Each structure stands twice: as C-alpha cells, then as structure tokens.
Structure 1
Amino acid sequence: MAVTLGDVARHAGVSLATASRVLNGSARTVTEELSAKVRASADALGYLPNAPAQALARATGATIGVLLHDVADPYFGAIARGVGDAAARAGLLSLVTSTDGDPERELHAIRMLHAQRVRAIVLAGSGYTDPDAGRRIDEALAAYRDQGGIVTAITDHGPGYGTVLPDNRGGAAELTTALLGLGHRRIAVVTGPERMRVAQERLEGVLEAAAAAGLGGEEVLVERAEFTRDGGRAAVARILDRADRADRAGGAGVRPSVVVALSDICAAGVLAELRERGIAVPEEISVAGFDDIPLATDLAPALSTVRLPLADMGAEAVRLALDPAAGSGDGRQVLVAAEVVLRASTAQAP
C-alpha cells in the first residue's frame, strides 16, 4: 500500500496541512524543526510526493470559500460581511455558499471548493452532532488540506482546525442568570435542531444555569425548531397551545414568564406570534434572543440578547487562515467573549 501524506503527518506528529507545506513546496512558512521532522518521517516511510498536490500547494489562489447555513439569516450575513471585508483587504475574493444546514450539501460544497483550488475554506455554519456526517466532512476537508489548503472555523468543528470560538455556553448561562435575577422561574427555551452543535451548546448553558438556581424540568420547557423566523413562531405557538389546553382541562397549564430563543431570528418569530395573539411583551411574557444581529434593536420592543461581534469573528477567521505567524490556523483557538444586553423585551416577572 502506498504511503500517504497522512501517514507522514501521523509519524511526524504534525497536522496534514503542515506536512503538505513542507513536502509540497508551499510558500507558507514552517519552522526548521518541524520541517526536519516531516522530511525525516517521509524518508523513513518512503513517501513519494504527489505532483498535482505540489502544484496546488504552490498555487496562489485568489479566493476564500465561505460555507454557511443561510445567507439570508442576518447572523450569517454579518459573519460573511466580516469575511468579505478581510478578504478584500488581503486582495482576495470571498465565495459564499449556503448549505441550509444540510451535511450532504456541505460535503458537496467542500469538494467543489477543493476542485476550484480556493486558498482557504472558512466554515461559518454550526458543526454537526451526527458522528457519521462529521466524519465524512472531516475526510473531505482532510483531502483538501492534504493538498495544501487551509481550513478555519467559526464555532467548534473539532480539533485540528484554526477556530474562532464564541462562548455560546457561557453566554447562554449568563443570560439565564440575568433572567432569573428578574424573578423568572418558568422559562421556555426555543432551541435549534439537535444536529447543530451551536444549538446544543447554547441549550446546555441555559440548563446549567437553571439547574444551579434549583429549577427542574417542569420549570424549563425546551422546544426545538429550525433557527428561522418561522421556526421561532411555530415553536412558541406550540408552547402556548399546550399551556392553554392544560388550562382548559383543569391541569397546571401555566404559561412561561419568559421565552428564550437561542437565535435572534427565532426571537423575531416569537415576538410576531405573541403580538398576533395579543400577548403584551414584556408585561405578560418577556422575550430574549442570542447573537445581537442588527435587527435586534429595530424589533418592537427592542430585543434583549447575547451580543457576539459577528463581523469581527468572520474577519478573525480570515486572519487565522492567512497569517503565517498564526500558523495558518492549525489547531489554534481564538476565544470570543459573549455579552448579555438587556433591552425593553425583558422585565421583572409578572
């Protein structure tokens, strides 16, 4: 069996991208110590360099590929703007592709970007909790990196990638603590689908803070939905309808005092549904979101949320990919703090 570049990387204890830079002649810098280790491993294993890979590694592609779930979502739009601005400052073009949160579409897009020989790929969507989907995407990215490509990610996509890591769990926990401080003890959480790692991290933050305050499962209602306006609207409709049915049946159908939607675009849908039902916000039910997209201050009432510097996160992902001093992103994590911002959509619990 032929020795692969992955074999050399494992033998030398380095990433695929580092091994490729040494053996395929990339212009990106690698320390003398690492170069010596990689070349020694290649000699020991009898590795023969791949000519097409060398050509790709030496290429100076002028494009950065950006994979995100939905370009129409202001969250991803703000990140894409940050990526595009940073790429333009470097004299590069950003190519944005929406995958609709579908692992198969993401896999196809990675392979297409690989074929187009883009200089780097920025993963701006959430990682997937499905191990099989994650494995297949990692394999496609490894093949791209095997030929000198660079991959950076926004949010956790596993070890080995340069990552801009927003504090999703901590931000959600701080938001929940702030709402508890307003006297809320019956919380409805509208979260994203289980396949999305970001949704899971944010939900975990809410549940951890609620549990620390002594709230149980009956006091924290979790409703799953797509991270869309329609998803948020449908989710809160289900929550309210269940409470109303329980009331009519003589049960404990108490409505939540606050709805925490774990994306702002979902929260916009929650507000729309409450408004249509004639439920006053925040007098009857408070509402909070997550991300602080530009729309958050334009909603009525203005949305309490968790602020993330979305455009800066996109720009940082590009910097990790292009800056040799940052190791071209390999395994480095840049932590991004989350900030709770309370506005008019939340108030003391009734």
Structure 2
Amino acid sequence: MTPPAGKRSGAATLNDVAHAAGVSLATASRVLNGSTRKVADDYRVRVEAAAQELGYTANLSAQATARGTSGTIALLVADIADPYFGLVASGVARGADEQGLVMTIAITEREVEREARLLRTLRGQRPRGIIFAASRGAESTSEALLSELTATQQTGSQIVMLGSGPEGPGIRSVTVDNLGASRRLGESLAALGYRRAVALAGERGVRTSDERLAGFTAGIGGVERVHRGGLSRNEGYRLAEEALAAGLEPGTVMFAVTDVMAIGAMSAVRAAGRTVGADVAVAGFDDISTARDVTPALTTVKVPVEEVGYRALQAATDPEWAPADDPVELTVLLRGSTPSLLT
C-alpha cells in the first residue's frame, strides 16, 4: 500500500529530518546527537521541530560518536533479587531520569572475571558512566579487571565504586561508614545486656562484610564464632543452622551483616524450635523494608540506600564532582528482635 501524500512508511531517518529542516546532515546530527559543537539557535529550533513532526528517535550509537559517550548509565550489581540492590537501582534511576539518561543493569555475582567481561561489552557501548554496586576487596581484583577498567576510562566512561573497590586515577567512590555504624550497633546491644554474640558474614575479602563484622565485634566486645558464606537469604538460613547446631545459649545475639541474611536467620531460629528475641536475638544491617514487616521487627542499621544510589549517579555524571562534605547518615534502630536483657 502506498502511504498517503506527506507521510512515509518506516521510521524517520536523520537525513529526513535534515531535509525537512532545510539544513545539512551534519547540522542535524550535531543538534540531535548532542555534539559539543555550537549550532545556531534558529537551525536548532528548525531541526528539533522537524524531528518532532517526523517522530524521529535519535540513535544511541550516533550519540556516542558525537558526544564521546552515549546517553546511558550502566549499573553492575551482585544480585538483582536482593532488595538492597533494588534500592540502589531506584536511586540511580531517579538521577538518570532527571538527566535524560537511560539506565542498564547487569549482574556480576561478585565474580571478577565476569565483571571484566561485562566491562569489555559495555566499553563498546560507551556509557556515560559505570557504577559498581557490589563490594569487593582489593585482593579480589584481577589483572584482567584492572586492564578493562583502564581501557573503559580511556573511552570517556566514568567509573564509580559504591563502597570500597579498585583504586586508580579517575575512579570515584561513594562510601558509607559501615565500620562506625556497626560499632554503634554493637555498643547499643551491649547496653541492653547482651554479652554473647555470634556473627553471620560473607567470605573474607568482601570489604563491606569485613567492615561491618569488625565494627560490631569491637562494639559488643567480641563474638564467639563467625559463620561465613554468601550474602543471600538462603545463606543466612544455612549459616544460622550451623550456629544453632554448634550451640547457642539463651540470650545470645546473632548478628548478620545484611538484613537479607538476618531474615533468613530468623526463619532458621524458628525452624529449630527456638524463639527470636530474648532466647536468640537477631540483628541485621541496611533496614530494607522487609525488616520492618517481619515479626518481631528486626533490629538493624538504617542505610538510606536509595540516596546512596542517587549520589553514585551524580559521581558518574558530574564533571566537577567531589566527595560530599555531608556523609550519608546511618542510624541504629533497636527493635523487637533484640529485647533488653536487663531486669
């Protein structure tokens, strides 16, 4: 079927826009693909009006060529099913939307070789910035990952680490005081009368886990055992089973380095015929929404995770970015999962 006069079949092209606006193809490209080269205001108005009338959508690859980077932000998370990373993504997406950017998400499972492969793929897409949201230690960073980080930066993409990670020229970090906040949590529980504690933590070298464990241990005056594994709900359940099988006296507090693990631990306590609270107290870290809904409500440290994600987006896109003078505030929240033992 022949399209009606004045209409065209298929998507409008940049050449169509240039013809309708009465400008060169190069001028239309500079307007619509975000080139830094100056275009006269009357030309810009004509090109934008023609693009709107024709329903033209800019090509991301062409934008990347014109700008040096594309209009995308890449977020790399360990586990998209973890509510913590969902909140990070919400903050990044909010900031991206304010700047007219598109966010893409990839899952790393904290595997450095997988991170290197993802970086290699993303490098070809030339995103404006790449945000790593999965904690790691310097010793867990491979040469391949370091090489890809350097190569990606050379294409113009800004690398941002959420928490600690590989350091190097141009790599930016958005951090929170895991060590200090977990110490305050331990001190608060000690003030409630808790003298015995066990911990559920990630494998050694996961820096966020290590910092939270170290701070809590210092704050409460020591832990009897540390059970290590993954940072998921199921791992929290499994590690709590280990802790219970090894023996837990009534009045012991079980500290998990994330709320997701702590919620799994609470289920394991009940499955063992024990009671969460004065029998086996449980505390976590992050204050995900589920922590407020479980019974009893979970004692934890509130991290404004969405705000952290938003700040990471700013670090990825603002050429004049500098670490914030006002650090993200972390708050100890004492709830029913850790009742006072004082009489």
Q: Same fold (TM over 0.5)?
A: yes
- For residues 104-154 of structure 1, the C-alpha deviation after alignment (integer angstroms, 9 at most, x for no partner) is 1111111111111111101111123435x3443222111111221101121
In the alignment, structure 1 residue 115 sits paired with structure 2 residue 124: yes
Alignment of 1:1-350 (within 5 A): 58-131=67-140, 133-160=141-168, 161-210=171-220, 213=221, 215=222, 219-243=223-247, 254=249, 257-326=252-321, 332=323, 335-349=327-341
Instruction: Report the Cα distance in structure 1 between the residues aligned to 2:267 and 2:300, rounded to whole angstroms.
Output: 17
Answer whether contact 1:56 1:148 (CA < 8 A) is retained.
Answer: no
Per the TM alignment, residue 57 of structure 1 is displaced from its structure 2 partner at its CA by 8.5
**Relative to structure 1, is the Cα distance of residues 319 and 66 closer, same or farther in structure 2, using a 3 angstrom cutoff?**
same
Higher relative contact order (CA 8 A, sep 6+): 1
Q: 4+ residue runs of structure 1 moved beyond 6 angstroms? A: none
Instruction: Report the Cα distance in structure 1 between the residues aligned to 2:66 and 2:339, rounded to whole angstroms.
Output: 56
Tell me the TM-score normalised to structure 1 length.
0.75
Instruction: Report the Cα distance in structure 2 between the residues aligned to 1:175 and 1:230, rounded to whole angstroms.
Output: 24
Answer whether contact 1:124 1:155 (CA < 8 A) is retained.
Answer: yes
Answer whether contact 1:259 1:286 (CA < 8 A) is retained.
Answer: yes
**Relative to structure 1, is the Cα distance of residues 206 and 134 closer, same or farther in structure 2, using a 3 angstrom cutoff?**
farther
Per the TM alignment, residue 204 of structure 1 is displaced from its structure 2 partner at its CA by 1.3
Per the TM alignment, residue 284 of structure 1 is displaced from its structure 2 partner at its CA by 0.7
Unaligned runs of 5+ in 1: 1-25, 28-54, 244-252
Alignment partner of 1:130: what SS? helix
Instruction: Report the Cα distance in structure 1 between the residues aligned to 2:185 and 2:321, rounded to whole angstroms.
Output: 32
Alignment partner of 1:224: what SS? strand
Larger Rg: 2
Per the TM alignment, residue 324 of structure 1 is displaced from its structure 2 partner at its CA by 2.5
Per the TM alignment, residue 336 of structure 1 is displaced from its structure 2 partner at its CA by 2.3
Answer whether contact 2:113 2:144 (CA < 8 A) is retained.
Answer: no
Alignment partner of 2:243: what SS? helix
**Relative to structure 1, is the Cα distance of residues 255 and 346 closer, same or farther in structure 2, using a 3 angstrom cutoff?**
closer
Instruction: Report the Cα distance in structure 2 between the residues aligned to 1:144 and 1:159, rounded to whole angstroms.
Output: 14
Per the TM alignment, residue 62 of structure 1 is displaced from its structure 2 partner at its CA by 1.1
Q: How many residues align?
A: 278
Alignment partner of 2:87: what SS? helix
Per the TM alignment, residue 255 of structure 1 is displaced from its structure 2 partner at its CA by 5.6
Answer whether contact 2:85 2:133 (CA < 8 A) is retained.
Answer: yes
Answer whether contact 1:57 1:148 (CA < 8 A) is retained.
Answer: no
Instruction: Report the Cα distance in structure 1 between the residues aligned to 2:183 and 2:144, rounded to whole angstroms.
Output: 32
**Relative to structure 1, is the Cα distance of residues 223 and 117 closer, same or farther in structure 2, using a 3 angstrom cutoff?**
same
Answer whether contact 1:282 1:347 (CA < 8 A) is retained.
Answer: yes
- For residues 225-263 of structure 1, the C-alpha deviation after alignment (integer angstroms, 9 at most, x for no partner) is 2101110111111111111xxxxxxxxx74661101110
Identity of aligned residues (%): 33
Tell me the TM-score normalised to structure 2 length.
0.76
- For residues 142-195 of structure 1, the C-alpha deviation after alignment (integer angstroms, 9 at most, x for no partner) is 111122110112101143422111111111111111111111111011011123
Instruction: Report the Cα distance in structure 1 between the residues aligned to 2:269 and 2:65, rounded to whole angstroms.
Output: 54
Instruction: Report the Cα distance in structure 2 between the residues aligned to 1:118 and 1:256, rounded to whole angstroms.
Output: 51
- For residues 42-77 of structure 1, the C-alpha deviation after alignment (integer angstroms, 9 at most, x for no partner) is xxxxxxxxxxxxx86932411100001001000011
Instruction: Report the Cα distance in structure 2 between the residues aligned to 1:153 and 1:256, rounded to whole angstroms.
Output: 39
Unaligned runs of 5+ in 2: 1-34, 37-63
